[in-house]
Amino acid sequence: MAIIVDNDTRLVVQGLTGSEGRFHGLRNRAYGTNLVAGVTPGKGGQDVEGVPVYDTVVEAVTREGANTAMIFVPAPFAADAVYEAVDAGIATVICITEGVPAHDMLRIHAYIGTRGVTMIGPNCPGALSPGKANVGIIPAEIFNAGSIGLVSRSGTLTYQIGHELTQLGLGNSTIVGIGGDPIVGSSFIDVLGRFEADPETEYVVMVGEIGGDEEEKAAAFIEAEVTKPVVAYIAGFTAPPGKTMGHAGAIISGSSGTAEGKKAALEAKGIRVGTTPTETAQLVAEIARS
């Protein structure tokens, strides 16, 4: 069993009738993910290429046994979609939506924390366990199954490093894009803890970026709690201070949150840090083959 999604995943897509939800939901199904339902209020009774659409998540849970929700609804309604999924008994929520207000995520974070729900995102590419299930927008065809866990704040760097690993003949146990916003449902530490406990994961790659202190916190956690080899990459060595660089969380403030500072914090805990995605993949290969 993988750490986020696997063969037991029964997926409901909130927003399946929209263009993005339809496109990616059906791509997930084509990969082998068990897409059991869609939810769009007011469109219950319709279907999307044979996938039944319901008005509520409760109906998708009771009628189709949905246990995982993927959210593809506009940002102003994303928080309500999360609450609905959690209240319906969904155990894993993956929110792809970009632009969810930070104050909404503060409330959501507190809400899910007392209910044992796993949330990935928002503003994330989702989660993939190669050969088992893909929930999100990750191009699964460039990944192989293997023993390397990959957790990242960046979607495109996730794809690049995963592809680099594939080209080196290596594969991944699970890929998790946690999202690039300042407040997300699952942190590096949350996912690293799962990789540590996962028997299918032997090595871990952590892809960070400028802004915040999540990587520094993760470094301390890795030193104290993770026994498996970890290799890291930090994006943003040439980023100018004070500018938003793609992600809402990727902002350098003064001397805090720089790529150099994060690299130093990781290396101080004995974690090897690649300077490019290619070098990062090569470091993993070196460790895996030693």
pLDDT in tens, 46-85: 999 999 999 999 999 999 999 999 999 999 999 999 999 9
* Residues 146-176 pLDDT 10s: 999 999 998 889 999 999 999 999 999 999 9
Catalytic residue at 247? yes
Residue 20 is labelled as binding a ligand = yes
Q: What is the pLDDT of residue 247?
A: 58
222-237: average pLDDT? 92
Which domains does the chain carry? 10-120 (3.40.50.720), 143-288 (3.40.50.261)
59 is in an annotated binding site: no
- Residue 43 marked as a ligand binder: yes
Give 246's pLDDT tier (boundaries 50, 70, 90). Answer: low
Q: Is 129 one of the annotated binding-site residues?
A: no
Catalytic residue among 103, 109, 163, 247: 247
Q: Is the pLDDT of residue 201 over 80?
A: yes
The reply to whether 18 sits in an annotated binding site is yes
Q: Is 161 annotated as a binding residue?
A: no
Band (180; pLDDT cuts 50, 70, 90)? confident
Rounded mean pLDDT of 112-141?
A: 96
- The residue with tokens 């897509």 is 13
Check residue 1 and give its pLDDT. 57
Q: What is the pLDDT of residues 14-50, one digit of tens each?
A: 999 999 999 999 999 999 999 999 999 999 999 999 9
pLDDT class for 239, splitting at 50, 70, 90? low
97 is in an annotated binding site: yes
